[in-house]
Amino acid sequence: MSRKFIFLLFALFFITTCYGCASLNANVPFRYQPSLVSSAKKIDKTVGLNMLLDKRPEGDIAYTKSIKDISEKVTAKLLEDFKVSNIFKEIHYPVQIEDDIVINGTIDRFIWKLYATPISYIPILNLVVYFGVPMNEAYGIASISLEIKNNKTGMVIGKLGEFSQTNNSYTLYNFKAGEAGTELEEAFREVAKKLKEGLLIKVDLE
């Protein structure tokens, strides 16, 4: 076996190993554009949003260490999404005494992971990645629960819990390190959309 061929195998192994360990870009999950909701109605109430609590499992936390102050960032993005979507008369953070509705919540899942496909670890066979065979897969999971209360009576109006997962495959040529986390961005956007649709139903029935 020539030195050149051995070097090629070593280089390929190095590329796939490093590529599979790409780090999450902490800004990516929070850059999505709010989605449109299917309903055109608006809730004529003033709403206060409290900071969501981080209730994620240890595995999620380990894979998103690059995101600092995750409760603040998730809450801020949801607040922005709700404002842009204009589904309430007014919404702000934190809750104020004159608010009609109070929203509390938890971040149950929030994770992004990139990993090498099995073929990437098989000597010789892994050369097929140079022909565009996927060498990595990534997934993003977002899950958020909300509790809606009447701020005047303290009565719970309703509870919502939404989950979304996005998966993608990447070849040697179509992955950009600066985009690491797009799957979580998409999952977060979908969860926010479902939460808005649920809020329109729950609060409207109150």
Q: Could you report the average pLDDT of every consecutive run of 10 residues in the chain (206 residues)?
A: 51 48 86 82 90 96 94 97 92 93 97 79 63 80 97 93 94 74 96 94 68
Strands 101-116, 43-49: pairing is: parallel
pLDDT at position 173 is: 72
Cα torsion angle, 54, 59, 65, 67, sign:
negative
Q: Do 149 and 142 form a contact (C-beta atoms < 8 A)? A: no
pLDDT at position 37 is: 80
Hunting for tokens 């055109």 — which residue is that? Answer: 40
What 3-state DSSP class applies to 161?
A: strand
Integer Cα distance of 37 and 94 in angstroms: 24
Integer Cα distance of 73 and 45 in angstroms: 25
Q: Do 66 and 119 form a contact (C-beta atoms < 8 A)? A: no
Name the residue among 206, 79, 53, 64 with its Cα closest to residue 144. Answer: 53
Integer Cα distance of 77 and 85 in angstroms: 12
pLDDT at position 18 is: 46
Strand partners, 146: 105, 160
What 3-state DSSP class applies to 86?
A: coil
Q: Alpha helix (H) ranges present in 27-134?
A: 58-63, 70-85
pLDDT at position 23 is: 83
Tell me how long the chain is: 206
Distances (CA, A) of 86 to 45, 46, 80, 92, 147: 11, 12, 10, 12, 20
pLDDT at position 166 is: 97
Q: Which residues of 151-165 are buried (b: 16+ CB within 10 A; e: fewer)?
A: beeeeebeebbbebb
Integer Cα distance of 16 and 22 in angstroms: 10
